[in-house]
């Protein structure tokens, strides 16, 4: 994050006449409601979710399958418009209707590791990692190669996803989330499709990258053991945070 942006995020408050610098949370969600219509039925997935995430914080979100974890993560990342409620990221309101500006904000400031890797099968590891940079009109081949090296895949950059193991595909997905050097990384069940040993290694990688590069990390997992490794744990049940 640039210094100017940091300063913008600092708010001056006064207690007993003394001025203090108070940093706003990076992500602020208030009263989020979201439901889906399935034929005649309406499923209420998020029923009034409010949460804050601080800069550089690592937060784990758990909950049963179908509890709304992915829906919440998408909503926080500007990918799923809530029916009501607000999401503010680094002082800017998401879903304000200025979709081009929001897409730019997402592209530059947010990295997303999607559930089930979500790699494009026709593209090599390197091309998959370059994709967010191409969308953002940046030339970033060196950065993409550096990201792939950081996840331990320097010698696999020209492989297609089908030529990579599950753990390696997840590493590519993590490297792609690092493209454009975002401030926050959202990861949706990054260990979900992996055996426990590979899953542990991937979680170590994600936590170390976030710590070393000063990134906020919001991870969905249903592995209670892994969820203890962050700064804070949230649990979603019946559409609300417990």
What residue ranges bind ligand ADP (CB under 6 A)? 36, 38, 43, 45, 63, 65-71
47: tokens are: 């029923």
Question: Residue 234 touches which of ligand ADP, Mg ion, none (CB < 5 to 8 A by kind)?
Answer: none
Of 95 and 108, CB closest to ligand ADP = 95
Which residue, 46 or 157, is less far from Mg ion as judged by CB? 46
Interface with Mg ion (CB under 5 A), residue from 58, 70, 124, 180: 70
Q: Residue 183 is encoded by which pair of tokens? A: 């401030």
DSSP secondary structure, 160-229, as one string = -GGGS-HHHHHHHHHHHHHTT--SEEEEESTTTTS-HHHHHHHHHHHHHHHHHTT-EEEEE-S-HHHHTT
Taking the least distance from each CB to ligand ADP, the nearer of 36 and 208 is: 36
Cβ neighbours of 202 (radius 10 Å)? 23
Q: How far is the CB of 83 from ligand ADP (least distance, A)?
A: 13
Residue 105 neighbours by CB under 8 Å, 6+ apart: 78, 89, 90, 92, 94
Least distance to ligand ADP from the beta carbon of 108, Å?
Answer: 26
Instruction: Classify burial at 108, counting beta carbons within 10 Å of its beta carbon; exposed 0-12, middle 13-18, buried 19 or more.
Output: middle
Q: CB of residue 9 vs ligand ADP: minimum separation in angstroms?
A: 29
Q: Which does 21 bind (CB under 5 to 8 A by kind): ligand ADP, Mg ion, none?
A: none
Work out how close the CB of 192 gets to Mg ion at its nearest, in angstroms, rounded to a whole number: 8
The footprint of Mg ion on residues 10-69 (CB under 5 A) is 69
- Minimum distance of ligand ADP from residue 194's CB (angstroms): 17
In the block, residue with structure tokens 């996803």: 161
């Amino acid at each position: 994050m640039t210094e100017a942006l940091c300063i913008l995020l600092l708010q001056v408050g006064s207690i007993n006449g003394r001025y203090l610098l108070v940093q706003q949370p990076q992500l602020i969600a208030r009263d989020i409601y979201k439901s889906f219509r399935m034929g005649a039925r309406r499923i209420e997935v998020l029923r009034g979710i409010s949460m804050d995430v601080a800069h550089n914080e690592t937060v784990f979100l758990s909950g049963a399958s179908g509890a709304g974890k992915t829906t919440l993560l998408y909503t926080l990342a500007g990918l799923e418009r809530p029916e009501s409620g607000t999401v503010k990221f680094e002082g800017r309101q998401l879903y304000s209707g200025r979709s081009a500006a929001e897409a730019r904000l997402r592209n530059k400031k947010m990295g997303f590791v999607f559930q089930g890797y979500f790699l494009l099968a026709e593209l090599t590891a390197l091309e998959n990692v370059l994709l967010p940079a191409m969308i953002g009109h940046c030339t970033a081949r060196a950065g993409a190669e550096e990201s792939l090296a950081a996840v331990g895949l320097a010698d696999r950059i020209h492989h297609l996803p089908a030529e990579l193991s599950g753990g390696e595909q997840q590493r590519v997905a993590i490297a792609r989330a690092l493209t454009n050097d975002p401030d926050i990384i959202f990861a949706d069940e990054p260990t979900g499709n992996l055996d426990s040993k590979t899953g542990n290694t991937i979680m170590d990688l994600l936590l170390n990258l976030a710590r070393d590069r000063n990134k906020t990390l919001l991870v969905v997992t249903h592995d209670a053991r892994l969820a203890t490794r962050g700064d804070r744990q949230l649990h979603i049940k019946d559409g609300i945070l417990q």
